[in-house]
Structure 1
Amino acid sequence: MDKHTVTEYFLSKPFTSVSQPFGEGVDVFKVKDKMFATLSLGNGNEKDTNGKMAGHYCINLKCDPDEALALRDIFDAVIPGYHMNKKLWNTVILDGSMPKGEIERLIDNSFLLVVSKMTKADREMISLHL
């Protein structure tokens, strides 16, 4: 997936919006004002990623803590969440090494994890559009 296809996939989720509260170049995707993903271009200055992010778009996604660790072991393109709580967030480097379906599954999981913490009324409203 590239920047455009991942953006389209994010925005296909119900009640999703995009803004840049952290500044130009970092798109933040929210469902009903709750962040479930970010998208930015890695510049190579990121610590602890050994330059893997340089020149590639990267997405931060919320994740179950146990699954987050497993994904990091399985995929080289999955690293601890850059600038995020590393227990609950992963960064996925969009370098072409991960199957599109797996990236979509991770996006879906992030979205649903955030929705699961919303009020019952919001959860029900969103579920009607899934």
Structure 2
Amino acid sequence: MNIEAYRLYCLSKKGVTESIPFSKLPDLLVFKVKGKMFTATDINTFKSFSIKCEPETIEALRAEYDALEEPSYFSKKHWSKVLVDGSISDKILYEWLDVSYRLVVAKLTKKERLELENL
């Protein structure tokens, strides 16, 4: 996976926007659904990206995949940093992005979820 494939995949999801919202982190590209972040990466290096994970499975996934690490800036219980080092197939990376997106959508209000369905 390269940064453009990552970017296009994220933007292909309903209601997703991209931005660089943190003035102290001017290279951090963030993808949000209805204003809630589901993934982020360094736009210049794309060495890794962050995803939201299910707390029940996050430790098992980190044990199974060396390229899945605790995040630098986010909750270790809900987020993981994925190293883009070629050790994980693009198929699995896309599945993890899907999970991250679904977890964020599930926490939206009923009204916001209905708005997404109608896009």
Structure 2-normalised TM-score?
0.90
Question: Gaps (5+ residues) in structure 1?
Answer: 43-54
Alignment of 1:40-59 (within 5 A): 40=42, 57-59=47-49
Alignment of 1:1-130 (within 5 A): 1-22=1-22, 23-40=25-42, 57-128=47-118
Deviations along 1:40-76, whole A, 9 cap, x unmatched?
169xxxxxxxxxxxx6521100111122111101111
Deviations along 1:11-67, whole A, 9 cap, x unmatched?
11111111111232110110011111101169xxxxxxxxxxxx6521100111122
Q: What is the alpha-carbon root mean square deviation over aligned residues?
A: 1.7
Structure 1-normalised TM-score?
0.82
Whole-angstrom distance in 2 between the partners of 1:20 and 1:94: 20
Amino acid in the other structure paired with 2:21: P
* Secondary structure class of the residue paired with 2:57: helix
How many pairs does the alignment contain? 117
**CA 1:79–1:119 in 2, change beyond 3 Å: closer, same or farther?**
same
* Secondary structure class of the residue paired with 1:66: coil
**CA 1:100–1:128 in 2, change beyond 3 Å: closer, same or farther?**
farther
Whole-angstrom distance in 2 between the partners of 1:70 and 1:39: 23
Whole-angstrom distance in 2 between the partners of 1:26 and 1:2: 16
Deviations along 1:59-95, whole A, 9 cap, x unmatched?
1001111221111011111001221100100000111
